Structure 1
Amino acid sequence: MTDQTQTVLVTGASGLIGTELTRQLTAAGHTVLSLVRRAPRSESEFTWSPSAGIVDYHLLDRVDAVVNLSGASLGRLPWTVGYKREILASRVESTTTLTRGFAKAENPPATLLNGSAVGIYGDRPGERLTEDSPRGQGFLSDVVDAWEGAAHSAPDGTRVVTLRTGVVVGPGGALKPLLPLTRLGLGSRLGTGDQFWPWISLHDEAAAIVHLLTSRLEGPVNLVGPTPASSTALTSRLAADLDRPYALTVPEFVIGGALREAGHEMLLSDQQVVPARLLADGFVFTHRTVDDAVDALVATL
């Protein structure tokens, strides 16, 4: 595939990342089609049912690349036993449905950019984590391992990239519950606040995916900002930009007691993840620090 414009099929196109990705792809001259789980509302939408393993593999003959962002939200709490099954199944089923469609297509897409997450590294205080680091332990690590395994079941000849995304600094996603609390003056240090949060601005998340469309990279790519930052660096900057106080601390035992596994894995895990492969591939970040990313977010509110 050359650097010419492409036809890109996106799942999860209406989500936080998918919406910005669609905007950037369109602005760059690419044609964007999307898979939806309802009746199509435009000529660019096509119905699929990942839970039933149904996708029109003839559609895959028409596209150059697929970006799969489908998966149940991690922000829906609590993580009950049933919802944990849904978190796993929604990711593996959607990915498997696509890779089986690739296998049936006469001229399958050359590229699959598949959702993934830094959760694969687990809680790793004191370590600098690159794509070469081994997987960690925990529920999210198990989920991401299975998710990436499903992506790599794509047929030979398909370039597969797994997008190991961190905390996306945008108006939704992981920051969705923090924004209203901070606006109410309840911005808080979470635990010690010293734990590294792998962050990336919404703009750079989408821009990195666009970059990877025409890259030669394969395998895992960390989609995180180039300057590691603690959770306190992010949450305190958010409070400062919103001109709200930042004087509270939520102890670890409260987070663990209220949110249990989800609290430990999403809020308290220490992950100093670096975008080693993305930087080596020449990607240029617009927002190089967490302050830059939070400032850009607040400017849009």
Structure 2
Amino acid sequence: MRIVIGGASGMIGTALQQELRARGDEAIALVRRPARRPEERTWNPGERSLDPAHLAGADAVVNLSGASLSKLPWTRAYREEILNSRVDATATLTSALRTLAEAGDAVPTFVSGSAVGIYGDRPGETLDERSVRGDGFLADVVDRWEREARSAPAATRLALIRTGIVMGDGGAGRVLRRIARLGLAGPIGPGTQHWPWVSLRDEVAAIIHLIDGDREGVVNAVGPEPATAAEIVRAVAGAAHRPYWAPLPAPILAGVLGTGGREMLLSDQRTRPAVLESTGFEFRHHTIEAAIRSELALRA
């Protein structure tokens, strides 16, 4: 198969390219500089510029573009970047897909990145793909992001993959690993809030599962066994052979890290991967402990 990837240089995009090529697929990376390799194509999502010919003949387009959410605090300027980087990249891809459709060309499957942040803070609830959106900045961002993806032409099979915290050597996983290695791991806020997580390997496998299958609509990419913030941070500390003791009270966290700290670290989202499970997806990592041992490569 021929797969075109926006956001190919990030943690998920890099791992996805490797996995696709390992199984014999052609992975085309969209890059924001002049293309230097045969497997690269240039685009400029900030200016919504992409030659539709770069998508012609592809079996699928995967959209992983967006400014990192783990970069805290979110200043007003960075909140704009979080939103615009996602909406602009998605609009660039959907515009190119519409051009293909209008020309009568075959339109590839579109797997567009999204986030469980759309559910907001929902203590006491179990969330799945049928759950309504919640409140907050991230919920607003994801709503705009997904609405842009839904502007793809009707001929497109669209899957919106709502991802949780990805446990891998980057993003939030890297932040947690650094905290643990410094001996500063401990309860974050109450610690009882659920953090929806997924291992990097399962995230990549879920994307490929959607490429290969026929599923459309919203798909939660989260691990099958829910875990609280306390369980996740404690597991990271244990894997690093470091103590779990340094509490970060919610008022201090919210005061220092603002909106990002509240929404990323204090929101409670017990989220289920109902669609993945119903379509026969097989998780490699069923528990947060297994994901951390495999993906974070923590050593004392």
TM-score (norm 2): 0.96
Which of 250, 269, 276 aligns to 2:267? It is 269
Question: How far is 1:40 from its partner?
Answer: 1.3
1:20 to 2:15 alignment = yes
1:42-191 equivalences in 2 (<5 Å): 42-105=37-100, 106=103, 107-191=105-189
Question: How far is 1:108 from its partner?
Answer: 4.3
Structure 2 match to 1:3: none
Mapped contact 1:241–1:295 kept (Cα < 8 A): yes
Mapped contact 2:73–2:261 kept (Cα < 8 A): no
Distance 1:244 1:77 in 2: 24
CA deviations over 1:6-47 (Å, ceiling 9, x no partner): 100001111111111111111121110010101212011111
Letter in 2 for 1:136: G
Distance 1:290 1:77 in 2: 23
Question: How far is 1:300 from its partner?
Answer: 6.8
Letter in 2 for 1:30: D
Which of 33, 40, 43 aligns to 1:38? It is 33
Question: How far is 1:76 from its partner?
Answer: 2.1
Letter in 2 for 1:281: T
Distance 1:297 1:226 in 2: 16
CA deviations over 1:187-216 (Å, ceiling 9, x no partner): 121011110000000000001101110211
CA deviations over 1:80-119 (Å, ceiling 9, x no partner): 1121111111101110111110111242433000010000
1:233 to 2:231 alignment = yes
Mapped contact 2:29–2:40 kept (Cα < 8 A): yes
Question: How far is 1:299 from its partner?
Answer: 3.6
Distance 2:17 2:296 in 1: 21
Distance 1:113 1:299 in 2: 29
Identical counterparts, % of pairs: 49
Distance 2:106 2:230 in 1: 45
Which of 26, 29, 48 aligns to 2:24? It is 29
Structure 2 match to 1:203: 201
Mapped contact 2:61–2:111 kept (Cα < 8 A): yes
CA RMSD of aligned residues (A): 1.1
Distance 2:18 2:181 in 1: 28
Structure 1 match to 2:247: 249
CA deviations over 1:138-160 (Å, ceiling 9, x no partner): 00000000000000100011001
Structure 1: 5+ residue stretches without partners: 1-5
